Amino acid sequence: MIQFLLVIGAIGAAFILIRVWTGVMNVKAVEEESLASIEKTHPYLPRMGAIAVSVIIAGLLFALSLRYGKNTSIASLTGSTALYRTIFVFVAISALGIFDQLRWHGNKDRYKYFYAFVLGTLVTWILIAFKRAFFETGIGEDPFLMALGITCVVIGWRFLFGPWNPTIKATVLGTFLFWVSYAMLRYSTKTELLATAIAAVIALLPVIVWCKLFLGYHKERLSIVVLAFFAGMLSTVPILFYHELMVRGIELNFFLFKVVPLSFGGSSEVFVAESIFKNTTGNTSIILVTLVTYLIVGVIEEISKYWVLRHSSHEFFRSIDDTLQLAIIVALGFAFAENLANPTYFVGFVKNYLLESPSPQWGPLIGAVFGRGILTMMVHILSTGVLGYYFGLAFFASPLLRKQFEAGRTHPIVFAMHRMLNLRTETLFARVQMAKGLFFAIVLHGLFDFIVSLPDVLPGNPNTVGALLGMADDHFLSNVGVVLVPALLYVVGGFWLLSALFAREEDMKEFGNIVEAQSFVSAP
């Protein structure tokens, strides 16, 4: 009887989710036609076949987990408060939906924001529920529940980036970030909450400064800027999740194989030991392991930022300056979230120098905030900004190539690949530009982290350039800190480079809205 009720409940929950998703998707068309017409045609409602297949697959995975899973039983479900919280969520959504139909029917703005808030809440509930079940009940050992959970996470994550206008997208992402922040801080003490609040205000100051500097080059709608900033904050979630897996030593069981999360340092040691550098020893081996470690960090962070940039804002790109500017905003969002999520950064600064100190230490606090807010943020801005520039070249490949061909410019490498592989020239051009963008972004990011951390891994901890090069103490380089070199290169040189890219006439060219289709470009 209980199993039958669970199945009925799952089917009912699926149809509620479908109804909410239909409403959210319909807001894209609500400005082009009447609400009654949209509700009648349900343009975004999946076909019944797709709905039936989804329900059958989910039910099958659930049934298999009950029959063969290691950590699932009817007793554990009925005895858990998670079931009651789930029922409460769906009852609340149903009540809000009824209220929406009775009270707000026909009001376009409220209709849109209501469904955006509901969707953000739903996705948050799905992802947080999976995270808690994963870390607290050990579903990673059950391949059936793992498959079901990963499916829910992928669908929920993708729902955050629907085809809506920037205000709706920003509302969905903002709702998600609000509930995630609430879940992270709900058990914090008053001191921790106060430290986090002060840290958030302080962390916003360098964000505002950098925005004032870079938003002046190219005017952008406030809603798109807020959307890109939220997307940048969101790009830290997969990294934090992976870090949690690694710290807890949790393995991901996928039927025929397991995924074992490794620390970046451990992965680097394995790579160096099994690569062409396997015969290196001593300091050389340490340097190589450190370099590879930070390059891996650069790969993960830059790809994460690129993904959210592409899926949150690609339909709003009109020029290369758009992609460059929004990539910088995504980088600022990532750096802001990183500064708050890591307890040793801004929250740690506030605790150490203000709240837990006998007297406020403003000097060390300002120095620490300046270092993280100016230098470290500029690393994210420069690396992701360069990635955004090359992404813009790839995104506008067709009109760019056409204009360059008309000007007599050729791309011999692209055309050589075109002849060899018989692929479209704009496709090859776009792939080459993206490869260059990812390469430069990863190297810029990883190289900075490597240089800054180098004194900590070498014998004697040489903190000056003179000590690092083995020079005498009276040499002038012995008074130059190792961190000062990348600081000047990245802050001064990075700001100059990005300013030069914004000033290029080709980057200012408005190409219009190019979403999916690229036209063919013929060789000159």
Of the candidates 507, 381, 391, the residue with the CA atom closest to the CA atom of residue 444: 381
CB-CB contact of 353 with 272 (8 Å)? no
Q: What is the pLDDT of residues 221-238, one digit of tens each?
A: 888 899 999 999 999 888
pLDDT reported for residue 471: 73
SS3 call for 252: strand
Q: What is the pLDDT of residues 147-205, one digit of tens each?
A: 767 777 777 777 778 777 888 888 889 988 988 888 888 888 888 889 999 999 999 99
pLDDT reported for residue 399: 82
CB atoms within 10 A of CB 450: 21
Q: How many CA atoms lie within 13 A of 56 on its CB side?
A: 6
Band (pLDDT 50/70/90 cuts) for residue 437 is very high
Rounded to whole angstroms, the Cα distance separating 492 from 495 reads 5
Mean pLDDT of 86-111: 61
pTM: 0.78
Rounded to whole angstroms, the Cα distance separating 513 from 134 reads 41
Band (pLDDT 50/70/90 cuts) for residue 36 is low
Cα distances from 375 to residues 155, 335, 396, in angstroms, run 37, 11, 31
Of the candidates 494, 452, 451, 447, the residue with the CA atom closest to the CA atom of residue 298: 447
Computed over every residue of the chain, the mean pLDDT equals 76
Judge whether residue 55 has pLDDT over 50. Answer: yes
Rounded to whole angstroms, the Cα distance separating 67 from 278 reads 48
CB-CB contact of 57 with 49 (8 Å)? no
SS3 call for 464: strand
pLDDT reported for residue 333: 94
- What's the distance, Cα to Cα, between the start and end of the chain in Å? 73
Q: What is the pLDDT of residues 305-320, one digit of tens each?
A: 999 998 888 888 888 8
CB-CB contact of 467 with 460 (8 Å)? yes
Of the candidates 124, 214, 109, 125, the residue with the CA atom closest to the CA atom of residue 165: 109
Mean pLDDT of 448-465: 77
Rounded to whole angstroms, the Cα distance separating 404 from 400 reads 6
pLDDT reported for residue 428: 82
Q: DSSP readout, 320-339?
A: HHHHHHHHHHHHHHHHHHHH
Mean pLDDT of 8-17: 61
Of the candidates 198, 375, 232, the residue with the CA atom closest to the CA atom of residue 301: 232
CA torsion through residues 227, 212, 331, 367, sign: negative
Written as six digits, the tokens of 222 are: 């406030």
Written as six digits, the tokens of 241 are: 């999740």
Rounded to whole angstroms, the Cα distance separating 305 from 111 reads 31
Q: What is the pLDDT of residues 346-398, one digit of tens each?
A: 888 898 888 888 888 888 888 888 888 888 889 999 999 999 999 998 888 88
Q: What angle do CA 235, 239, 240 make, to 5 degrees?
A: 105
Q: What is the pLDDT of residues 471-523, one digit of tens each?
A: 777 776 676 667 777 788 888 888 899 988 888 877 777 776 654 444 444 44
Band (pLDDT 50/70/90 cuts) for residue 331 is very high
Band (pLDDT 50/70/90 cuts) for residue 281 is low
Written as six digits, the tokens of 43 are: 């343009």
